Every structure is written in structure tokens, then in C-alpha cells.
Amino acid sequence: MDIEQIRDYCISKAGTTEEFPFDKDTLVFKVMGKMFALCGLEHQPLFINLKCDPDRAVELREQYDCIQPAYHMNKKHWNSVYIESGELSRNELLELIDHSYQLVVSKLPKKVKAEL
């Protein structure tokens, strides 16, 4: 997948917005104002930071070389997924994006979830 495909997938999720809150090269996807994914557009190789259940995060890092503790994030809850390695299938990457999105949605207040 390339950055445009990732962007299209993320932005298609309910309640999702995209912005550049840190700098002009770091694209952030938020659901109802809470971050679930970010990409460094100018960073090579291309990676996406995704939220992850802490136990699963460790398992994924042990299973895949392309998944590492997140760059500039809380390493317990975030992974950097290096996309261009080819190690993950498209469906596996999409599932990791879905997992991140769902984790964030699950922590939203009831009122915000109702708006979603």
C-alpha cells in the first residue's frame, strides 16, 4: 500500500479527520478528536504509527521485523509499522489500522460515541 491508499482507508472511517498538528510532514488521523494513526510523509522508509493493545504490540513486534516500538510515541501503546518492507499483506495492515481505530473509539466517552 502507498500513502494515498492508507489515507483513503483511514479517512473513510466514521468520525475521522486528518490534520497536520505537529509539522507539515506528519499526517495525523483522528477519530472524534483522538489520534489513531500518523504517518511521516517525508520519512523513508514509509511507516505508520498505530495504537495497539500492549500485549498484542509485543507479540506483533516479535512476529514481524517491520513492526517496532513507535517512533516518538508511547512505546507501550503504539507501534511503527514499516509498510514498504512487504512483510505484511494489505489485509494485515488494514486490520492493524482497524484495531487502532477501535481501541480509540472504545475509550471515547458515551456521549461522543453516540455522536459517532
Query: Which of the four pLDDT bands, split at 50, 70 and 90, describes residue 93?
Result: very high
How long, in residues, is the chain?
116
Phi and psi (nearest 5°) for 16? -90, 135
**Whole-number pLDDT of residue 86:** 84
Q: What CATH number did the domain enclosing 82 receive?
A: 3.90.1150.30
Cβ neighbours of 10 (radius 10 Å): 25
Q: Which domain holds residue 92?
A: 3-115
Residue 15 has pLDDT above 90, yes or no: yes
Question: 91 and 76 in contact (C-beta within 8 Å)?
Answer: no
The reported pTM is 0.94
- Per-residue model confidence as pLDDT tens digits over 42-90: 888 899 999 999 999 999 999 999 999 997 899 999 999 999 888 999 9
In this model, does residue 16 exceed pLDDT 80?
A: yes
Number of independent structural domains in the chain: 1
